[in-house]
Amino acid sequence: MPEDKSIQELGLDEYKYGFSDPEEYFFKTPRKGIDPEIVAMISKHKNEPEWMLEYRLKALESFLERPTPQWGGDLSELDFDEIYYYIRPMENQGRSWDDVPDDIKNTFEKLGIPQAERESLAGVGAQYESEVVYHSLKEEWDKAGVVFMDMDSGLREHEDLVREYFGTIIPADDNKFSALNSAVWSGGSFVYVPPGVHIDIPLQAYFRINAENMGQFERTLIIADEGSYVHYIEGCTAPTYTTNSLHSAVVELIAKPNARIRYSTIQNWSHNTYNLVTKRAVAEENATVEWVDGNLGSKLTMKYPAVYLTGEGARGEILSVAYAGDGQHQDAGGKVVHAAPNTSSLITSKSISKGTGRSTYRGLLKVHEGAVGSKSRVECDALLLDENARTDTYPYIEIEEKKVNTEHEATVSKVGEDQLFYLMSRGLSEEAAMAMVVNGFIEPIAKELPLEYAIELNRLIQLEMEGSVG
Amino acid sequence: MQQKEAPEVLKSKGITEETVKALSSFKDEPDWLAEKRLSAWRAFEALPMPSLRDEAWRYTDISDVRIEDFLPYAPSPDVSSEDELPEAVQRLIKEGEENSALLVQHNSETAYSRVDDEVGRKGVIFTDLHTALREHEEIVREKLFGLVPEDYDKFAALCAAGFAGGSFLYVPRGVDVEVPIQSYRWLDVVGSIMPRTLIVVEEGASVTYIDEYASASAEEPAFSNGAVELYVGEGAHLRYVSLQNWERNVLHFNTIRSEAGKDSTINSLVVALGSQLSRTNVEAGLTAPGSDSEMLGLYFADQNQVLDHHTLQDHISPNAHSDLLYKGALRDESIAVFSGLIRVEPGAQKTDAYQTNRNLILGTDDAFAVSLPNLEIMADDVKCSHGSTTGQVDDVELFYLMSRGIPRAEAEKLVVFGFFGEVTSRIPLKGLKEKLDRAIEGKIGLGFEERVA
């Protein structure tokens, strides 16, 4: 981004956060790479409390100490010194649809989301280069005491609440990438739903990366208090660049007794992005957490949404769909840990590999001693569209309790020639028939998404499949 | 068999380069084999001892395994007829399948072997490895270490460097051996036993081979480390059974790998009942079009046993079929690990592969079952699926049986038999099935009646 624009041109005089130092409104780390100085700069720029700076610095140590994982995807080309760890965008936070940047609107356009529906996308928070540029909270949520804001604002306005829960589900030193995120996090969403409040309309946020070599490290924390309900939707679109970028988010969900959280994601990163995300939820007594996770794009995705069932009667559900095209590796899956009696879980994974794409299901199902009456089912289906495509399934199943019932099943198949023949004999082109079969394959996941996201997912897959038959 | 006195170095504990050399010259081995042993020893020294940090060993703690505590070699008493064998071995033979050839390895040496005339006349060779080396060097040299090479892993390297005894079976083209061939490994010293099994079944031939492991009860740990190489030619059929029923002082390591000719069939059954710790790798290579591999496994862990099976269905050629079913029961504080991989290599189109692992947890809550059914698919025209379940005896099934007047303990026994029946019903060997049933019954033992329902 140009560094010589005036504050007026950037519209920063309207900037609502009112940082103490206006010179700092527009800010990018002075150099690539990461060290304590860079981390301190980010923290200072955000005017954070001392404890957060300390948290970041400690996380940095852990990041630097930890080796790059040797399992999963190939991370050998990922160069941590070639990345800007913080850039603040030029836009300010929009308040209406008109303020949303054109590229985001164009994405809606491309995905064929009708205007009427775009209007109904009130409540969209769009993250633009590590910072939230658009938020519009519906009044009734305010009235109900629901908090939905970007994480930076959350830290300023609800410091005690953030401090109580931040990093409790995913400790900074959980893994190399959660440590990195904890050191340089910026943006993401903070959601708190008070006891008994049901939010019917999903909270939504759009993210994208559009500065070369820029890491994006959003941090999301969602707390659903007792008996509440919230559905949060995160979606990503990213234009393509020639050098690798890194997206490494941390998402923590806490479902208090009898609460329910549903977290839906459709991610479509550009094909040179490393998408390395840690997502974990805790479900207390009789609470339910559902992850609906769609992964397209990226060079390599490593993402295993987890649910820890810590209270009796808790339920976890993970629906994961992955599409790996040429040169892509989707290493995704899910983890469920049964740590209380009468808990139940379901993992459903669907993957499609095309061209030289590779999709991997990697999962853990663990039943701790004492989690009597746990029931769990894992289903993985993989569809291969080309002879060069590859699919793997690595489910770990660890059972320490006898009064349980766990099942795992996986199938791998190619698109049935008889299915294609049937559709083509009725006048569909091979390409259209193929797309129809694939859409049918992912339907169990798509039907769990709100309409516009289901449409988006289907369209994204159609865009990916264009010219796939030859 | 005439035994000669072993050199002193083989009578002291620990395995070193010196013992490897001594073993080789004691056995008058050809140079190529002496060199092979040494290169295997170097591979063993170079490879780190597996630990919980290794993916393939993350649930199997072998940090207590001290190879230096074991005798490298233990002679076997001289025996000229079956009725001079240890009584326990005679009992095993009596309880087993009827056999047409028999070999008993007692500690490090072959104590006794016999091939029925009818089978011998057809050109079937069945003898210990060193006799085979003297009489059929060419084929042994060609095949030995071909499937379980010295660099396969730490334990395979040790077995290649320090093996003794072992058996060689050769079935010529077109020969059908109807009655099973049986080998026993018997251990009654606190030592090590490192048998290698080499089986070559030529084109169109068929044979059933049973490998059985048993020992005299002892306190001190003993060590069994084997390698099994199965070559099955075009259109040939091999049924291979490994029945591990060591006493609880034995640490058991074994790697079984097979190579399959066009349109051949291999049925393997791997049973683990005994030992303190048992780690078996079973790898079926679907190396030619139309080859077919049935892989059955049965394990029952109790007390503090650790029974670990790693399987591979390696689809290299197109149009091959593999079907794996491993079922295990666990009691007490035992650990059972199943890790199975179906790998379909690029170009192995029309692969048809299945893999199922089921665990039944009985008795207390301290048992730990791990199941890792993995797939790696690099061809697109395939049918592959796998399944894994872990659970307890179904209350509905118990209720059904008890409502018909069967006492609870008996009902549970029936359910467990039913559970294993899915495996045992697929084995056409009556004597073996009865043996397994008795062993399972012994394992179920009294655990149930004592439990508060």
The beta-carbon neighbor of A408 closest among B55, B365, B373 is B373
CA distance B251 to chain A (A): 23
Residues of B with CB below 8 A from A407's CB? Answer: 387-389
Whole-number Å distance between alpha carbons of A252 and A53: 20
Closest CA to A129 of A88, A94, A101: A88
Specify if B360 maps to a domain.
no
Final residue of a structural domain among B247, B268, B288: B288
Residue A282, domain extent:
27-464
Specify if B261 maps to a domain.
yes
Contact A402 B383 (CB under 8 A): no
- A vs B, Cβ pairs < 8 A, gives 119
Specify if A76 maps to a domain.
yes
Q: Which helix (H) or strand (E) holds A361?
A: strand A358-367
Contact B392 A387 (CB under 8 A): no
The beta-carbon neighbor of A401 closest among B365, B372, B384 is B365
> What length does chain B have?
453
Whole-number Å distance between alpha carbons of A437 and A421: 11
Give buried/exposed letters for A214-230 (b at 16+ CB in 10 A, else e).
bbbbbbbbbbbbbbbbb
> What length does chain A have?
470
Contact A395 B369 (CB under 8 A): no
Contact B359 A399 (CB under 8 A): yes
Residues of A with CB below 8 A from B361's CB? Answer: 399, 401-402, 404
Give the tokens for residue B45. Answer: 């020294």
**Nearest residue on chain A to B382, alpha-carbon basis:** A413
Specify if B348 maps to a domain.
no
Residue B400, domain extent:
394-452
Written as tens digits, the pLDDT of chain B (453 aa) is: 456 788 888 888 888 999 999 999 999 999 999 999 999 999 999 999 999 989 899 999 998 888 888 888 988 887 888 999 999 999 999 988 999 999 999 999 999 999 999 999 999 999 999 999 999 999 999 999 999 999 999 999 999 999 999 999 999 999 999 999 999 999 998 788 999 999 999 999 999 999 999 999 998 889 999 999 999 999 999 999 999 999 999 999 999 999 999 999 999 999 999 999 999 999 999 999 999 999 999 999 999 999 999 999 999 999 999 999 999 999 989 999 999 999 999 999 999 999 999 999 987 668 999 999 999 999 988 999 999 999 888 888 889 999 999 998 888 889 999 999 999 999 999 999 999 999 998 888 744 444 333
Which positions ≥6 away from B215 have C-beta within 8 Å? Answer: B186, B187, B188, B222, B246, B247, B249, B250, B274
Query: How many CA atoms lie within 13 Å of A309's alpha carbon, on the beta-carbon side?
Result: 35
Specify if B198 maps to a domain.
yes
Please identify every stretch of chain A with a pLDDT value under 50, giving residue numbers as ranges: 1-26, 90-95, 116-117, 119-136, 207-215, 237-243, 469-470
Q: Is B368 helix (H, G, I), strand (E, B) or coil?
A: strand
Final residue of a structural domain among B288, B309, B333: B288
Specify if A86 maps to a domain.
yes
Q: Which helix (H) or strand (E) holds A412?
A: strand A404-414
CA distance B348 to chain A (A): 10
Angle at A282 between CA A278 and CA A283, to 5 degrees: 145
The total domain count for chain A is 1
The total domain count for chain B is 2
User: pTM of the entire structure?
Assistant: 0.86
Residues of A with CB below 8 A from B386's CB? Answer: 393, 408-410
Residues B416 and B276 in one domain: no
At residue A83, what is the residue type? I
Specify if A231 maps to a domain.
yes
Whole-number Å distance between alpha carbons of A336 and B369: 16
Maximal CA-CA distance, chain A: 69
CA distance B292 to chain A (A): 19
Cβ atoms within 10 Å of A96's Cβ, excluding its own: 9
Final residue of a structural domain among B239, B269, B288: B288
Specify if A1 maps to a domain.
no
Closest CA to B214 of B435, B453, B449: B435
